[in-house]
Chains A and B, each alone.
Chain A
Amino acid sequence: MVQIKYMLMVSRQGKVRLMRWFSAYSAKDKTKICRDLTTSVLARKAKMCNIVEYQDHKVVYKRYASLYFICGISSETSNELLTLEIIHRYVEAMDAYFNNVCELDIIFNFSKAYDILNEVLICDGSMTETSKHTILKTVASMDALETSDNLDQVLS
């Protein structure tokens, strides 16, 4: 199984594009983790393995174009290889939603990126849906509901 403690999205320049904490961390710890991982992950060469040991847990990361997806996972039980698949599933979902996603999409529509993530991972970072189709359908329905609410208001 995989339990994700946190997921960070960091650009190649080291800017944080998205962060989601599935366990309670203090603000100080959050800053430290972001800083430490950004430096250590960005310094790694392309051919190196995608698993890093950090503090008391493991960190799995994957690079897509200019963005690094970095996940802290609980060390003993989490399956590192499956974590890579989870990241990939999330990226696939975003790719389909934004129709060929790029870093700029995520920067300007970060709340959509969060919405999609919330349909993939829930509670303390466990996966809740594996079908890309279902994930997209849910997000699209919620988007539609937002516009219809908007419409209602205009009409009333």
Chain B
Amino acid sequence: MGSLRTFIKDVRGAKTLAEERSIVTKESARIRTKLKDDHLPQDKRRKNIHKLLYLHILGEKTHFAQVECINLIASDDFRDKRIGYLAAVILLDENQEILTLLTNLLNSDLNHPNRYVVSLALSALGSLTSPELARDLYTDVESILARSTDEFLVKKALQCAAKIVQRDAALLEIFYPYIESILKSHHLSSHGVRLGVAKLCQAAILSRSQYEYDNYPEILQSLVLNIPEFYSLLQDMNATNFNPEYNVNGTCDPFLQVELLYTLRLLFELAPQETERYKDKLNDLLTQIATNSDGTKNSAHAVLYECVRTIFALQLEQSLKVLGVNVLAKFLSGKDNNTKYVALNTLLLVVPQEPHAVQKHRKFVSRCLFDPDVSIRTRAVELTFAILDSSNMKELIGELSSFLKASGEQDKDLIVFVVDHLIELFELHAVGHDNWAIDVMVDLLKVVGQHIALEKVSEIMMMINNLRDLDHKSKLIKQVLQISLGKSDGGVSGDNLGWKLVSVWCIGEYGDILLQNSYFLDTELTGYLTLLNGLYSHNVKIISYILTAALKLSAKIQNPACNEDLRQIIKGHMKDTNLILQAKSSQYSIIFNQPAKQKQDVLGAMPFFERKNKNGNSKSDSKPDTKIQEPNLLLDLLESTPASNGQTKNDSQTLASIFGDQPSNNTANVATEETSHVTIPIPSDAVHAYNSSDMDVSIKVDSVAPSEAKLDLYVKAHAPIKNLQVLAAVSKTQKLVMGTLSNHSIAAGQVSRQELKVTGSGKLKFRIKLVHESPTGTQIEQFDHKLDQSL
């Protein structure tokens, strides 16, 4: 068995992953056998553990070595102890059973005459403190704090004490007096010791809620008394000449400074009354640190940053808050990306407290919108929205627009975020800025339309629809079509579906405006629709918009050739595999053939769309009901917003009466929410597949051809089921087409049927997921089912 060095070399020298694995497993197995050998010489044991540590770094399992760590720690040889403790710290954690074996060893090593052995034991205890170890060993740690004059040991014992208090708050009683005594001791004044004091003080404050005895006020009082000491430490460190040993790029020990600031912050937070008398001094001190340390180095920034966090966490004086915001603004204007990031993050938290102070620095925020680092851009966008109000809206949204124009594919999430928020914002604020708001949105749509969710695009259409300034509206629509038809600069890319959708919708809605004074020719508009119809034949959303647009446009143009083209577009989808398109196309072609007068009645312009107000009181009551009956149905067909149920029924009756002899069930996609009472029988040869408290599911195979099978799924409800959705998956070699579900809502004892068609090859097996609303809430049930037949 070779040395550690050879082992590492072998692993590194492996040419393939497989070779490396084989070396590693072999060695691991060899060590495992060796560990069982009780007579192995100590140096061999050390070597094994060394190798195991290396295996651990490689991500291998090392649990079998736990006992060996303990064996090494038990040895008298310092070399054994050192590697044994190291391995214990690395390989074990506080949840391991084996720690009980360690208790006695730690106990004797904490009292060892050699300071380095004690320090190893302290480090190990600090890493592995379980509540049991804390209770068993606190006396040893305490005796070090009480007796030792060795800074090296005291600093570690203090950290251990802090950890012990965290694990068992009752032990605070024992340790809290040492905070004061050690802080005031002249022998123990190294920064390491002070770090330990700060840590113990923090633990004492943070464990308050777990501390059960009633003398906590006393403890708190003694902690508060240390505040002047902390002040003078901080002041010393900010004085001009300090110990070069602790110098970090011109700042004196930023580590200790930050730790002390945090301790002070906790104290002031926890005990506002007791610390009141020290508050003025704190203000002075923070001002001093914030104004004096104007270094450009990260170490100085770290301290400044902690100061600012203290100011805002404690809600200190107004002047300090302004100072804090200015410090952060300076961070933003700098070059270092890390300070920019923390500054943006902190400003986000600060905005609610100091909106105006933050707004003053909006130039710097806007500049961060164009930072090459995406994390900074994200924060900057969030912050921009946070400081946005009516006074700076135009300016900041202008910045956001130019950000979006400069953004790329990798910013997709951010773009979606910005657009969503802008839409929300315009809903709330834009009264009076309507024209400007819609210009901004259309502009954005042009640039980033491919990233915007289609629901959001409908919001933009709604904004156009609701625009009150008719002149502006017609100008805007013309502009949209100019760009779409390639008549003006700045074409729109083919994958910008949002834009296409809006342009198609505009043609349908505002065909008359566009054709006025032959601004556009009817052939142009028809041609555009036909072109898109061909290009996006797979996109259901666009096609259904095209169908509606074609129908609406047909009522507005006289040219028979164009009308024929439009008829062809609609007719072309009558056999579409998509059921919605098929239904739509069939319905539309009936409307298409109605006399012009009736068509114009049905296909009138959309009414003003009343958004459902967030506070609930919609103003739509004032509108006369009769006038909007038919358009309301169209709204429904366009799937914009569902009209109320009662209204829908009315409308279908109206439509039925218009078209007289047409059976009313032609309006297939008008959703009916009622529970159906038509009984569907479950065929006797259906196989039972699943049952639960809510339902029974059976599957019947209708036909199995060599590469195609048709099946029916029957869901029988035990309790009433609403909004049933059936989702299914088949194996990779097959394809699944979901047919219709006969009823989405089933009464108890009734049955709903789902048709399935599977193509491909292999065994027929399914994973079925049923989503529905039962009286107890939304339920999801899932099961797998295998059939005997195969394809």
Q: In the complex, how many residue pairs between chain A and chain B have their CB atoms under 8 Å apart?
A: 169
Tell me whether B116 and A145 are in contact (CB under 8 A): yes
Contact with A16, one of B58, B89, B126 (Cβ below 8 angstroms): B58
Query: Once the chains are docked, how many angstroms separate the CA of A150 from the CA of B255?
Result: 37
Stretch at the interface among B49-57, B383-391, B589-597, B672-680: B49-57
> Which residues on A sit within 8 Å (CB–CB) of B246?
130-131
Q: In the assembled complex, which residues on chain B have CB atoms less than 8 Å from the CB atom of A20?
A: 90
Known contacts A51-B341, A110-B54; is-contact A149 B79 (Cβ 8 Å) = yes
Contacting pair A110 B375 (CB below 8 A): no
Contact A141 B338, beta carbon cutoff 8 Å: no
Q: Secondary structure at chain B's binding surface: helix, strand, loop or mixed? A: helix
- B259 contacts the other chain (CB 8 A): yes
- CB atoms of A131 and B262 under 8 A apart: no
Q: Which of A63-71, A93-101, A115-123 is the interface stretch? A: A115-123
Which residues of chain B from 288 to 321 have a CB within 8 Å of any chain A CB?
298-299, 301-302, 305-306, 309
A86 at the interface (CB under 8 A from B): yes
Residue of A nearest to B253 (CB): A130
**8 Å CB interface, A110-156 against B:** 110-111, 114-115, 118, 122-124, 126-134, 138, 141-142, 145-146, 149-150, 153
Q: Which has the most chain A C-beta neighbours within 10 Å: B58, B129, B245?
A: B245
- B338 near A130 (CB under 8 angstroms)? no
**What residues of B have a CB within 8 angstroms of the CB of A134 in the complex?**
152, 190, 192
If the complex has contacts A84-B338, A128-B195, A150-B79, are A1 and B202 also in contact, measured as CB distance less than 8 A?
Answer: yes
Report whether A81 and B342 are in contact in the complex, using a CB–CB cutoff of 8 Å. yes
Stretch from B158-166, B179-187, B598-606, B734-742 contacting the other chain: B158-166
Q: Which of A52, A123, A145, A146 has the most CB of B within 10 A?
A: A123
Would you call A141 and B93 a contact (CB within 8 A)? Answer: no
| B95 touching A131, Cβ below 8 Å | no
Beyond A34-B59, A82-B254, A145-B116, whether A24 also contacts B94 by CB under 8 A is: yes
Number of interface residues of A (CB under 8 A): 58
CB pair B375 A123 closer than 8 Å: no
Given A31-B59, A81-B305, residue A142 in contact with residue B116 (CB < 8 A): yes
* B163–A124 touching, CB < 8 Å: yes
Kindly state the interface size class of chain B when it binds its partner. 35 or more
Q: Mark A74-102, 1 if CB is under 8 A from B, else 0.
A: 00010111101110010000000000000
Determine whether the beta carbon of B8 is less than 8 Å from that of A108.
yes
Which of A48, A52, A82, A84 counts the most B-chain CB atoms under 10 A from its CB?
A82
8 Å CB contact of A108 from B5, B199, B302, B341 = B5
- A129 vs B194: C-alpha distance when bound (angstroms): 10
Are B159 and A122 neighbours in the complex by a CB distance under 8 Å? Answer: yes
Interchain CB contact under 8 A, A47 and B373: yes
Task: Tell me if B608 counts as interface (CB < 8 A to partner A).
Answer: no
Interface core residue of B53, B79, B254, B255 (most chain A CB under 10 Å): B255
Tell me the A residues contacting B by CB distance below 8 Å: 1-2, 16-22, 24-25, 27, 31, 34, 45, 47-53, 77, 79-82, 84-86, 89, 107-108, 110-111, 114-115, 118, 122-124, 126-134, 138, 141-142, 145-146, 149-150, 153
Closest 10 CB pairs between A and B? Answer: A49-B337, A123-B126, A81-B302, A24-B93, A1-B262, A82-B302, A48-B373, A49-B341, A129-B192, A123-B163
